[in-house]
Structure 1
Amino acid sequence: MSNDGAWIHDVATGPAAKVVEKHREPQELIFYSGWFCPYVQRTWIALEEKGIPYQYKEVNPYKKEKHFLEINPKGLVPAIEYKGKALYESLILCEFLEDAYPSYGPNLLTTDPYAKAYIRIWLDFISKTIVPTNLRLTMAQDPAKQKEYLQEYNEALRTLMGKAKGPYFLGEEFSLVDVAIAPWILRDYVLSENRGYSREGVSPEWKAYCELLEKRPSVANTFSEKKYLQPIYNRYLSDTAQSAGAQALRAGKAIP
């Protein structure tokens, strides 16, 4: 039960539960997770893509243990402990994994300096444009605002696809850009069922890209059953969610 009255399942389910079971043993890297969180899934996808040994630990978002708050004073997941040292923020963690585990591949950032900078440009676009617009659309109550945000969201996705080489963002190579957007693709059924969004409405290329990403093992296997996400998304759809991101958008601030 959450602190605003909505029940949240306390463990990963479906394919994700099977992955969790494989990562119970202690490792030098401890992954603090919330199974439901798209930001968590970014880091989880990277861990699975690279085959890095890690210990999975689920964090109760409404009853955080003292040790976890010492690791991340923000109280947000994902976070990791690496050789006793703490780090957090999903994309920072993904980049850290490339530096800390260079022999575990593939390299999701590439080794080419230009390509690496290019990836970071589009990671910034996803974080500052696509994700906030997605959340605004989900939370919007006024039909006119829903229509406005849907147009903005579709245009942002078209912009991203306009730079994609296909089949993945960089071409044949799966990269951190794909990792960064994949969790929101898996959850786009929420917008399809409630806000008039469709993959086809963005572009045929976007639809094909989404279908490719959602089938990739590292993406599909770190996702829980949709029915357990419904109580969470009901709060966003009714604009009653009290997450840090929801509160920031209401206050006109950037998502933390």
Structure 2
Amino acid sequence: MAPQPKLTFYTSVICPYAQRAAISLKEVGAEYEKVEIDLQNKPTWYKDVNPETKVPALTVDGYNIAESLVLVELVNDLFPEKKLLPDNALKRAQIRFFVEYWSSKVNPQQWKLLGARDDKEGRQTAYNDINAALARINELLLEQSQEGPYFLGQEYSIADINVAPFAYRLKLLVAHFFKDEVELIHFAKYPRVKEFLAGITERDSFKATIANEELFAQAYEKAIERIAAAKK
């Protein structure tokens, strides 16, 4: 077996994109140096790693690579025996479509909810969009397997890794700021969706890479302040 490349992982525990890469590294059992980046006070030297100064980034034997989706697939390619992506080309395409669908149809609604903290009608619009997306997500899950707990059924994959950080944060956001409206999102309406969300967030690699809820609450409060300031 070839020796593992030398890895340095630049991350922030609060960032969902960074958590994607962190989960993948945990899943394959990679050995790496971890460097936590303060997103509010990024070190000047970090521009040499990633000129855009975003996290995550990964140094592989001296080469710097960025962007979370790229890194998750890179980790799969570095540790192919772990099979985070199936060999079947169609399954790989379905996984990528699923991730893109969640990213484009569900993730933007988090920002809409944050911006509509004092706008009930605006929140309802976001809830409606989320519920429409969840109905389609349920169909996509059932197309793969009638039972979970993962996208591919019993097989854990990049689909689960790339969605989990965002699904968790959406549920946490609603539970923290809109407690009386939790039931307006149909997380539990579709058994396959419910099982999927539980499966991906109960995985050991997910639990090992998630921040505590207090940090998330603080981050959301700051985001709300920034949104409010931008509206003035």
- What TM-score comes out, normalization by structure 2 length? 0.85
What does residue 186 of structure 1 align with? 168
**SS across alignment from 1:219:** helix
Equivalenced residues, count: 215
**SS across alignment from 1:197:** helix
Q: Which amino acid aligns with 2:66?
A: Y
Aligned residues of 1:150 and 1:197 also touching (Cα < 8 A) = no
What does residue 118 of structure 1 align with? 94
Equivalent residues in 2 for 1:1-256, closer than 5 Å: 28-103=6-81, 105=82, 107-141=83-117, 142-164=119-141, 165=145, 166-167=147-148, 168-187=150-169, 188-195=171-178, 196-198=181-183, 200=187, 202-236=189-223, 238=224, 240=226
**SS across alignment from 1:240:** helix
Mapped partners of 1:56, 1:79: distance in 2: 11
Structure 1 position 129, deviation (Å): 1.8
Q: Tell me the alpha carbon deviations over residues 124-149 of structure 1, each in whole angstroms, 9 at most, x when there is no partner.
A: 11222221122222332321010001
C-alpha root-mean-square deviation of aligned residues, in Å?
2.1
Q: Which amino acid aligns with 1:197?
A: V
Mapped partners of 1:152, 1:181: distance in 2: 17
Which structure features the higher share of helix residues?
A: 2
Which stretch shows the higher mean deviation, 113-122 or 197-206? Answer: 197-206
Q: Which amino acid aligns with 1:75?
A: T
Moved over 6 A (4+): none
Unpaired stretches in structure 1, ≥5 consecutive residues: 1-26, 251-256
Mapped partners of 1:202, 1:154: distance in 2: 9
Mapped partners of 1:219, 1:200: distance in 2: 19
User: Aligned residues: percent identity?
Assistant: 27
Aligned residues of 2:98 and 2:140 also touching (Cα < 8 A) = no
Aligned residues of 1:140 and 1:239 also touching (Cα < 8 A) = no
Aligned residues of 2:112 and 2:122 also touching (Cα < 8 A) = no
Which stretch shows the higher mean deviation, 60-69 or 44-53? Answer: 60-69
Q: Which amino acid aligns with 1:235?
A: K
Aligned residues of 1:71 and 1:86 also touching (Cα < 8 A) = yes
Which stretch shows the higher mean deviation, 181-190 or 27-36? Answer: 181-190
Which stretch shows the higher mean deviation, 94-103 or 213-222? Answer: 94-103
Structure 1 position 65, deviation (Å): 2.0
Aligned residues of 1:31 and 1:56 also touching (Cα < 8 A) = yes
Q: Which amino acid aligns with 1:64?
A: K
Q: Tell me the alpha carbon deviations over residues 83-115 of structure 1, each in whole angstroms, 9 at most, x when there is no partner.
A: 111111111100111122224x1x111111111
Unpaired stretches in structure 2, ≥5 consecutive residues: none
What does residue 12 of structure 1 align with? none
**SS across alignment from 1:86:** strand
